[in-house]
Structure 1
Amino acid sequence: MRLLLVEDDEIQAQAIHQALTQQGYVVDLAVDGETGWDFVQAFTYDLILLDISLPKLDGISLCRRIRQQNLTVPILLLTARDDSQDKVQGLDAGADDYVVKPCTPPELFARLRALLRRRSVAGALLLEWGDLCLDPSSHNVTYQEEFLSLSPKEYGLLELFLRNPKRVLTHSTILEHLWSFDDPPTEATIRAHMKRLRRKLKNVGIDEIIQTIYGVGYRLLPAPESPSDSGQSSYSLSTLPEEKSPATALTQLWEKSKGQIQERLDILERVLKAATQGKMAEEDRAQGQITAHKLAGSLGIFGKQMAYQLAQEMEDYLMMLKAPELDRTQREDRVNGLKILLQQLQEELGFKPAEIVNSSSPLLRVPEQKIWRILVVDDDAELVQQLQQEAVHWQIRLEGALSIEEARHLIIEKLPDLVLLDLVFPEHPDEGLMFLQELRLRFPDLPILAFSVRDGLSDRVAVAESGTAFLSKASSPAEVYESILGILQASHSVAPRVLVVDDDPVFLASLEPLLWGWGLQFTPLLDSRRFWEVLESTAPDLLILDLEMPHFDGLQLCQVVRQDRRWQGLPILFVTVRQDPSVIQRIYQSGADDYLAKPFTEGELATRIFNRLERCQLLNSLSDTDLLTGLTNRRCATQDLKRYLRLSQRHNQSLCLILLDVDRLEQINQSYGYKMGDRILQQLGSVLQQHFRLEDIIARWEGDEFLIGIYAMSKEDGLKRVTHLLSRLETERFMGTGKTEIKIKVSAGLAVHPDDGEDVGSLYAIAQNALNQAQNQGGGIVLAL
């Protein structure tokens, strides 16, 4: 849940902030009343903690201002004076409760829970959904009285849905409640957390709880009457079935890997035998050292802590045997020490010669490339055939159903990844729309693209109300598949790809159940000589490297990646048994982002991987987004414009480019302050998002200049669209601090491909010239030359 803390005492603020964060709350901090008011206007909070004595605007006045705006958010006053006058004033101003400082954390948490309970369903102390129970006071989640382990964000998501059982929660709503102002994520981050939460709930037998409303957000489904009556099996995460438990998977893998472990022990035994006989060559010693190194890494990942330490000591002993200055006695002592270590290691592992297991069975699997399965429901056989011919170029397998009845049969046989549905059939003019509603009821998560020659407003509204995308049949097959892939990529959160390069097949095999269990695509690579080929073919989101490998070591591979501009942003994680400072320094100098020492726990590896992936996703999002308005920035818009231009040239379509500029913004900044100017740009960005389509390019180009790119729009239609926008802006009120309201004028210039230019530069120059002339004529108009 998201809270706002308004407190000007830095020490107290940090202490309260830390205590609340440790309890799983997301907390924004404001140090004065005016900043607190800005936060209240900008974000949605579940509760506000408000100090009374604040600079700029005191807590009582801020409380009144919040209530005057008809905001019902609970307010808990913090006061250092235990005097009734302050309490009465605060409660009369609209506060719900108060706490006298200093107060203990348990007292503060109890007051918070009491206020939050008043807003929860029926004032319940516990939040329940069937046999699923969430206790806000202890932050425990149980299913059928068995404990369910969730991360803080997964817990926050579940609590948010349980507190809002009848609401559709949009991405922006979830962001506002579960992430702080200083920690802005992307929508991909929300999808990743949702995916992990659903997976954990599914593991305990809850298959259907949160429904995706495509293009909108998510909602909580009604709870079942009685899970026990439905025949659903259930179990807690602490007692997963054997085939699903990561711990059991590692145990099974250990049994499969015993043969290779024994082979390594045999190599060490042969090396020691040669050393005892005085026949150990340098290559024998080196092979023994490498074998002990691999053995240590393998044993560590399986949790064999004592065996891991023994293998490490053997590696150190073999390394010391390389020293040429050793006399005969010293060498014999080290060889005898190795014999003792090997014997202890064999005893610790419980290996006997008869236990050698056949290790020829494959331990690794590489994920196959996803081929999307699309069902097109259309009575036009010629069109279906045309789409099927085009499908081979898009990694799509397309099946056709020439009637609704045939479509029902095919969907029952196997649910497709997406349905492309015509709305018009000869039997009944609304048969397609009725089938759309049927599919939405039976398969609420199934992506559907309505595809019709009948594209009037009433049909578009009916399709939009069902949460379905719409595409005109005038579109080319290439445009159809571009739309299909856009929907699939948005609705199917593609699992991050992880490439792991290590010459130890046992280590790679031990990672497999972990990475696949976390929803990651896992590509193992034993031979470093194939690294570049596999890197380019798999395009991973994260790279894990071993340090010491034959042919090319991890440091060399890391340096090669960092020297190629395409891969400079790829997160790289080293895993190694080496922990001395000089090695770690070399790892970072080669360009690595992080390292993890073997042996490591499952939690350590998961934390490193997901932290790096989420950080990378956030940076990618920030690199494409203007931080003030949330619109696409100039760099990303330029790429999108070039892509739209290629489509326009390929399909002989127009591309409309529009430049918008706020008239006399500098004068507004001088009169009202730059903060007012920023708010105007923010509000204008919001209006543009509402006025134009999702597929249009909407960007903040620079300063107070905005750019709009609209595919397949003529100059005449573009002028009408912008004229309508400028008329709307004439009635728009832009809010400043306090009750300040001002009106603005916006000028626009327009250019269209191919009439005004063939590239982005020439189109921009024409539109800029038209914009300048519009401003010279007094502003508030749109011109096209």
Structure 2
Amino acid sequence: MRFLVVEEDEAQAHQIKVALTEQGYVVDVVIDGEQGWAYVETFTYDLLLINTSLRDLNGIDLCRCLRNEGYSVPILLLTVQNSSIDQVTYLEAGADDHLVKPFTPTELFARIRALLRSPRRANAPLLHWNDLHLDPVSREVTYQQKPLSLSPKEYSLLELFLRNPKRVLTQSAILEHLWSFESQPNEHTVRAHVKRLRRKLQSVNADKIIETIYGVGYRLKPPSPELSKQQADIAPAESPETPAELLSVKSNVSQGSIAASSDLPVSRERFKTIILNRIQTLEETINNAQTFTSELCQNAELQAHKLAGSLGILGLKSAYQLAQNIEQCFIEGRQTPQTPSLIDTLKTLIALLYQELQHPFDEFEEKIPVQSEQESISKQQTSFQVLVVDDDLELTEQLKQIAIHWNIQLNVTTKLEEARVALRETPPHLVLLDLVFPDHRDGGFVLLEELKYQFPELPVLVWTVRDDMSDRAAVARLGGNAFLSKSVSCDQVLEAIKDILQSTSTAPTKILAVDDDPITLNCLQELLPSYGLELTVLDDPRLFWETLEKTGPELLILDLEMPHFNGVELCKTVRSDRSWNALPILFLSARKDPQTIQQIYQAGADDYISKPFAEAELITRIFNRLDRIHLLRSLAETDPITGLLNRRRSTHDLHRYLHLSRRHCQPFCLVLIALDCFQSINNQYGYTVGDSVMRQFGQILQRHFRDEDIVAHWGGEEFIVGLYGSYQSDGAKRITQLLELVQMTVFPVANHVQIQMTMSAGIAAYPEDGMDLSSLYAASNAALCQAKASGGNCFLTLSSDSRSTV
């Protein structure tokens, strides 16, 4: 496990690091709050130990900032102050616990163990996988009750796997978790430690627990089918080794992350029907041999090709070979006159195919997973689900009506017992909780405590009429994410809900798969989500462009032969569009001849995999494509100094937002921002310091604005922000807050020198100040020039001639 110690007393920081390292933890040490913030943004930690008395950004403010950003890792404050007022301050800032200096290593270890086994981290302290057990408290590892002796690094590696049972861990992720920033080795070290850990496991006959996903990383090997029911209940969803196994297990993959087409019901009978229909079509063509034409042969060849692909995906290898032989016969029949021997061969192959499929079809109903109607509905549900626990029906009804426009669905319960039932049956994305109920004045506190034990990852926003310090401290101590008084507006409540949900959710990589074969699509649905990929499937190529623009995928998977539009035509269409021509495209096809493969690559494909495909090969190809496109996109679209979008990429996004504003009659604000007197910083301290200030200012902008806002650096001291859905008054409010934030920020430069900066801004609103990007930019630039001329540290809006300063 990896900890960060933020302590300005270097001697004490060294003592803490040595003590924790001896306990097997990986420890990074920084000496001030600004460095602590930078490390938290860069690396992943399991616990933070922060001194309250830091220079610049003190420990309490750092803790508060981290919690405001949605950072949920446990925080232990180290302090010399321990009055009741101080304790309330620590809890209000979001700390999980505090430790008074001076303290002994024994006391420190006890506090850390208590935090690590708290409900926020896990439901149970004991980690296990089949017969392998790891106790984080005693640091003992056993397999089938036999002790296993591991080195500290081997223990940490095994613990990392057990804490992430459903995740494929890349070598870089393992390095990040198990080694400190200063002593991080290369990836060869990871392979060596995995090899040694496997050897230790093999010594107790547990040699098949960790498996390699070639080209990706390592994961825990899914449990064997002989798992007891109790083990199966706690084991994570099995990720099959090959497509053949995809249909031999019930689907345990979470359906919430899959956006599937509603017209693709995955039913047992449909797969059987599809395959039988294709065989019957071939049989009818063969029986009518006297009417054989080139067109009929071509259609039969296509049916045989589709049949082979489906059978290969299902893992029916013998049937797959027979279907390929049938396809080859029709290819020959199209090129040469049909002979009685060719007809006899086709009839024999069809009979053998029926015979081969007789037994698999008997077991089909056990192999194909059923998608219930409820699962189908849940896949299509894209709005956030929020459970409101409040007996004020008038207020909650008002909130419910407004929430529709925020893409938030509220489910209201007025009683605590009803809330407990609703949480068990349909867990929401967030709970909005009142503290006071008629039959139980402190009922909200009781439910909040239950939630943090039963649903440790579920965000809770408290919204109540009780607003004194003791209530706020109690909510913070019990793990509430935010506290709002009922004096705030409904829009402010919904904005807080949206902020919490966006900060706690991670956006998976989106993939669009287009194939008219539902068997292939179902296999992809079973496989890809377990690797954190969000899959949208489409079986009708006529809806391709509409679906592409709606989903915005990062990778496209195409079948070669489909009705209406084939894969090559779709690929060429994508490559000819300026907005999508860089989209990675991967083909899946049962055809393996050189001419077809050449045709695919000439159309613009990035990669090709033949059906049937192996899981490891498909996943490796997908992640290799994604890694490469992310790297190229980052280099082409990111400003190297600030890390923000560059002018080229942001211009494209701003045009897109303006197009949406015109189409949907939505407001839009364009804000032009510049640091005041920035050239004097370059002249006095040099361009290296100037770049550092620009980088820090870019980070401030990223944290201040929403994820959906466009924040970019257009060169020099000029930054631009696009606010879709915001009126001029909304933009003015955001910039006023930004002015205050920048003025309070201290920018550290070389030799412990610190400087303070101010900024100026100009705001232009659509459609009042312009109908396109060029006119809005001219208006915002004119406002910015006026703001600078008036002394800076302010913003102006041309349309209202308003001026705001700090």
- Is TM more than 0.5 here? yes
Question: SS of 1:449's equivalent?
Answer: strand
Q: Kindly report the root-mean-square deviation, in angstroms, between the aligned alpha carbons of the 2 structures.
A: 6.3
Q: 1:684 to 1:721 in 2, by over 3 A?
A: closer
Q: 1:571 to 1:423 in 2, by over 3 A?
A: farther
Correspondences of 1:383-462 after superposition (within 5 Å): 383-402=395-414, 407-408=419-420, 410-411=422-423, 414-422=426-434, 436=448, 439-451=451-463
- Matching of residue 587 in structure 1 with residue 600 in structure 2: yes
Question: SS of 2:591's equivalent?
Answer: coil
Question: SS of 2:323's equivalent?
Answer: helix
- Matching of residue 549 in structure 1 with residue 566 in structure 2: no
Which gives a bigger RCO, structure 1 or 2 (Cα 8 Å, sep 6+)? 2
Q: Partner of 2:748 in structure 1? A: 733
Q: Give deviations 1:370-415, integer Å, cap 9, x for gaps.
A: 4543222345332111122234445544233446676456545653
Contact conserved, 2:654 with 2:710, CA < 8 A, in 1? no
Correspondences of 1:693-708 after superposition (within 5 Å): 700-706=713-719
| C-alpha deviation, 1:442, in angstroms | 4.0
Q: 1:776 to 1:548 in 2, by over 3 A?
A: closer
Correspondences of 1:438-517 after superposition (within 5 Å): 439-451=451-463, 466=479, 468-470=481-483, 473=486, 476-478=489-491, 480-493=493-506, 498-515=511-528
For 2:323 and 2:596, the matched residues in 1 are separated by: 19
| C-alpha deviation, 1:254, in angstroms | 9.5
Q: What one-letter code is carried by the residue in structure 2 that aligns with 1:734?
A: V
Q: Partner of 1:668 in structure 2? A: 682
Q: Partner of 1:301 in structure 2? A: 313
Segments of 5+ residues of structure 2 without an aligned counterpart are 3-37, 46-134, 189-215, 252-265, 771-775, 795-802
Question: SS of 1:450's equivalent?
Answer: strand
Question: SS of 1:420's equivalent?
Answer: strand
Structure-1-length-normalised TM-score: 0.58
- Matching of residue 248 in structure 1 with residue 248 in structure 2: yes
Q: Partner of 1:17 in structure 2? A: none
| C-alpha deviation, 1:655, in angstroms | 8.8
Q: Partner of 2:759 in structure 1? A: 748
Contact conserved, 2:309 with 2:590, CA < 8 A, in 1? yes
| C-alpha deviation, 1:293, in angstroms | 0.9
Q: 1:369 to 1:528 in 2, by over 3 A?
A: same
Q: Partner of 1:601 in structure 2? A: 614
For 1:403 and 1:356, the matched residues in 2 are separated by: 48
Q: What one-letter code is carried by the residue in structure 1 that aligns with 2:692?
A: R
Contact conserved, 2:508 with 2:532, CA < 8 A, in 1? yes
Q: What one-letter code is carried by the residue in structure 2 that aligns with 1:248?
A: S
Q: Count residues with an aligned counterpart.
A: 603
For 2:461 and 2:697, the matched residues in 1 are separated by: 31
Question: SS of 1:599's equivalent?
Answer: coil
| C-alpha deviation, 1:558, in angstroms | 3.0
Q: Which has the larger radius of gyration?
A: 1
Contact conserved, 1:449 with 1:470, CA < 8 A, in 2? yes
Contact conserved, 2:157 with 2:178, CA < 8 A, in 1? no
Q: 1:202 to 1:574 in 2, by over 3 A?
A: closer
Q: Partner of 1:79 in structure 2? A: none
Of 309, 317, 339 in structure 1, the residue corresponding to residue 329 of structure 2 is 317
Contact conserved, 2:44 with 2:177, CA < 8 A, in 1? no
| C-alpha deviation, 1:745, in angstroms | 5.8
For 2:353 and 2:232, the matched residues in 1 are separated by: 46
Q: Give deviations 1:236-285, integer Å, cap 9, x for gaps.
A: 988999xx97362499999984554444444434434444xx54233432
Q: 1:457 to 1:719 in 2, by over 3 A?
A: farther
For 1:144 and 1:44, the matched residues in 2 are separated by: 18
- Matching of residue 381 in structure 1 with residue 381 in structure 2: no
Q: What one-letter code is carried by the residue in structure 1 that aligns with 2:571?
A: C
| C-alpha deviation, 1:621, in angstroms | 7.1
| C-alpha deviation, 1:548, in angstroms | 1.5
Correspondences of 1:114-153 after superposition (within 5 Å): 141=158, 151-153=168-170
Identity across matched positions, percent = 36
Q: What one-letter code is carried by the residue in structure 2 that aligns with 1:502?
A: D
| C-alpha deviation, 1:352, in angstroms | 8.8
For 2:283 and 2:737, the matched residues in 1 are separated by: 84
- Matching of residue 576 in structure 1 with residue 593 in structure 2: no
Contact conserved, 1:733 with 1:743, CA < 8 A, in 2? yes
Q: Partner of 1:766 in structure 2? A: 783
| C-alpha deviation, 1:605, in angstroms | 2.2
Question: SS of 1:284's equivalent?
Answer: helix
| C-alpha deviation, 1:601, in angstroms | 0.9
Structure-2-length-normalised TM-score: 0.57
Contact conserved, 1:699 with 1:708, CA < 8 A, in 2? yes
For 1:689 and 1:509, the matched residues in 2 are separated by: 39
For 1:143 and 1:629, the matched residues in 2 are separated by: 33
- Matching of residue 630 in structure 1 with residue 643 in structure 2: yes
For 2:671 and 2:574, the matched residues in 1 are separated by: 38
For 1:456 and 1:568, the matched residues in 2 are separated by: 57
Contact conserved, 1:250 with 1:302, CA < 8 A, in 2? no
Contact conserved, 2:511 with 2:556, CA < 8 A, in 1? yes
Q: Partner of 1:28 in structure 2? A: none
| C-alpha deviation, 1:489, in angstroms | 4.3
Q: Please say which of residues 411-420 and 290-299 is displaced more in the overlay.
A: 411-420
Contact conserved, 1:547 with 1:553, CA < 8 A, in 2? yes
Segments of 5+ residues of structure 1 without an aligned counterpart are 3-38, 47-119, 165-172, 181-196, 206-227
Q: 1:666 to 1:341 in 2, by over 3 A?
A: farther
Q: Partner of 1:559 in structure 2? A: 572
Question: SS of 2:334's equivalent?
Answer: coil
Contact conserved, 1:132 with 1:141, CA < 8 A, in 2? no
Q: What one-letter code is carried by the residue in structure 2 that aligns with 1:416?
A: P
Question: SS of 1:300's equivalent?
Answer: helix
Q: 1:417 to 1:633 in 2, by over 3 A?
A: same
Question: SS of 2:380's equivalent?
Answer: coil
For 2:317 and 2:679, the matched residues in 1 are separated by: 67
Question: SS of 1:151's equivalent?
Answer: coil
For 2:392 and 2:690, the matched residues in 1 are separated by: 54
Of 282, 286, 290 in structure 2, the residue corresponding to residue 268 of structure 1 is 282
Contact conserved, 1:424 with 1:430, CA < 8 A, in 2? yes
Contact conserved, 1:259 with 1:356, CA < 8 A, in 2? no
Q: 1:556 to 1:726 in 2, by over 3 A?
A: same
For 2:142 and 2:763, the matched residues in 1 are separated by: 56
Contact conserved, 1:629 with 1:682, CA < 8 A, in 2? yes
